[in-house]
Amino acid sequence: SSVTIPPPECMLRPLEVPFRYLFGPGPSNVPPRVLAAGGRGIIGHLHPEMYEIMNDIKKGIQYAFQTQNNMTIAMSGSGHAAMECAVFNTVEPGESVLVAVNGIWGERVAEIAERMGANVHIMVKAPGGVFSNEEIEKALAKHKPVLFFLTHGESSAGLAHPVDGIGDLCRKHNTLFLVDAVASLGASPIFMDQQNIDILYTGSQKALNAPPGTAPISFNERACQKMFNRKTKPVSYLFDMAHLSNYWGNDGQPARLYHHTGPVSGFFSLRESLAILVEKGLEESWRHHREVAGYLWKGLEDMGLKLFIQNKDLRLPSVTTISIPEGYNWREMLQYIMKHHNMEMTGGLGPSTGMVMRLGLMGYNCQKTNADMALAALADALKNCKKSKA
Ligand code: GLV
C-alpha cells in the first residue's frame, strides 16, 4: 500500500479564528482567565491532581446548584450529554415519561426518551407557554410517569419557567423531577435541594462562560435509588452512572477505575469558571444578570421592539427573545448584524423559529456596555434592512 490521499493544503495554513461578539444564546465569550486555565499543560486523567481538580469541580457544582448531593459530576460532553445521561440512567424501556414541551428542549427530551424505548407522554404549549402546577399534577396522576421533565431556562423561547411546588407534586406521585437549567444557571435563581429537584443539569458554555464540552449534573438520593436499582443496563456505556460515579469518586470505592478519558483541559476551564462564580457569589450573579437584562429590555422597548415574553418576571435574564418586527426578514437582519457589527445574535430554534430573534448577555458578556453595542447594532439593522413586501 502507499499514500494516495495527498496532504490537504488547508492544513498547511495557520489556524484562523476571528474575534466575534457572541451575543446569541451561547456559547458566550470566554474570559481570559478561563481560556488560560484551558490552555495549561495537561496531566493524566487518572492522576491524583486531576482527581483533586474533579473534587473541586464537584464542590463548585454543589454550590452553583445549591445541593448537598453526593452524586454530582460533570459530564464529558455538552448539555445534550447531561440530558441523555439523566434519561438513560433513570428510565428503563417501557416506563412512562412525561415531558413538558414549550420550546425545543422538551421536544429533544421527548425524542431521546422515545429512542431509548420509553413510553413518552407530552404536554404541549406554544413556545414560552407556562404550565400551571394544577396542569402538571393532572398529567402526573394520569400518566404515572417515572420521570417528569421541565425546562427552567427555555432558551428557544426566552422563558424562565417557575419550578416552585413541582418537586413536591412529583414526590406525591412517585415521579422523579428532572430540570434543564442549561441556559439559566448562574443567571436566574434555582435551588436544587430546597425546590426538591431530583435531577438537575446545566452546560459549561452559557452563564458559566467556559468553552462548550462539559456539563454539570447532579442526582439526589431518590434519583440514585431508582437508577442504581434497575433491571436493565442503561443503553449508553459512556453515560452509565454506575461507571461515572466511580470515575468521580462518588461510589465509596477505594479506587477510581478507567472508564473513559475525560476532557482534561475542559475540566480545567470548568473549574476556573466555577471559581469565578464562587468569588462573585450566586446572589450577586443573579442580581447582575437581572440588572443588565432590565437595562437591555428597556432599550429594546424604547426602540419600538416587542419582547416575546411579556411578563417580566418570567423572562430569562440570560437570553432575551425579541418578536420579529413586522415587515422585516429576521435572517437578513441577523446577517446584517454579523457582517457590519461582527456580532452573533440568532433566530429562534425549533418551534420558535421565525417567531423571535435571540440576544444573550451571559456571564462575562453581561455588561451594560455590551447591551449598548447590541442595541446600536439592532438599531442599525432596523434602519438599513429593507422591509420585505408584506
Ligand atoms: C442552544 O443552546 C440555543 O439555545 O440555541
3-state secondary structure 173-229: CCCEEEEECCCCCCCCCCCCCCCCCCEEECCCCCCCCCCCCEEEEEECHHHHHHHCC
- Nearest Cα residue to 158 out of 30, 31, 323, 288: 323
Mutation probe of ligand 1 site: the residue of 155, 208, 316 with most atoms within 8 A of C-beta: 155
Position in ligand 1 atom list of the atom nearest CA 319:
4
Q: Which residue's CA is minimally distant from atom 4 of ligand 1?
A: 155
Q: Which residues contact ligand 1 via a Cβ below 6 A?
A: 25-26, 155-156, 183, 349
Mutation probe of ligand 1 site: the residue of 78, 83, 104 with most atoms within 8 A of C-beta: 104
Delimit the CATH 3.90.1150.10 region(s) of the chain.
21-26+282-384
Residues ≥6 apart with Cβ < 8 Å to 151 = 100, 102, 103, 105, 106, 159, 161, 179, 180
Number of H helices, E strands in the chain: 12, 14
- Nearest Cα residue to 339 out of 370, 273, 384: 384
3-state DSSP call for residue 375? helix
Residues ≥6 apart with Cβ < 8 Å to 64 = 185, 186, 202, 208, 216, 274, 277, 282
Predicted confidence at residue 388, as pLDDT, reads: 60
Q: Which CATH architecture has domain 21-26+282-384?
A: Alpha-Beta Complex (3.90)
User: Which ipTM did the prediction report?
Assistant: 0.88
Cell of 260: 473513559
Q: Which residue's CA is minimally distant from atom 1 of ligand 1?
A: 25
Phi and psi at 22, nearest 5°, equal: -95, 80
Predicted confidence at residue 386, as pLDDT, reads: 74
pLDDT mean by block of 10 residues, the chain; 390 residues: 97 96 97 98 96 98 98 98 98 98 98 98 98 98 98 97 98 98 98 98 96 98 98 98 98 95 98 98 98 98 97 98 96 98 97 97 97 98 79
User: Ligand 1 centroid to 245 CA: how many Å?
Assistant: 28
What fold characterizes domain 32-278? Aspartate Aminotransferase; domain 2 (3.40.640)
Position in ligand 1 atom list of the atom nearest CA 346:
5
Phi and psi at 208, nearest 5°, equal: -70, -25
* Cα separation, 164 vs 161, whole angstroms: 10
- The beta-strand segments (E) located in the chain are 21-22, 71-76, 96-101, 119-124, 147-151, 153-154, 159-160, 176-180, 199-201, 214-219, 319-323, 343-344, 346-347, 356-360
Delimit the CATH 3.40.640.10 region(s) of the chain.
32-278
139-165 tens-digit pLDDT: 999 999 999 999 999 999 999 999 999
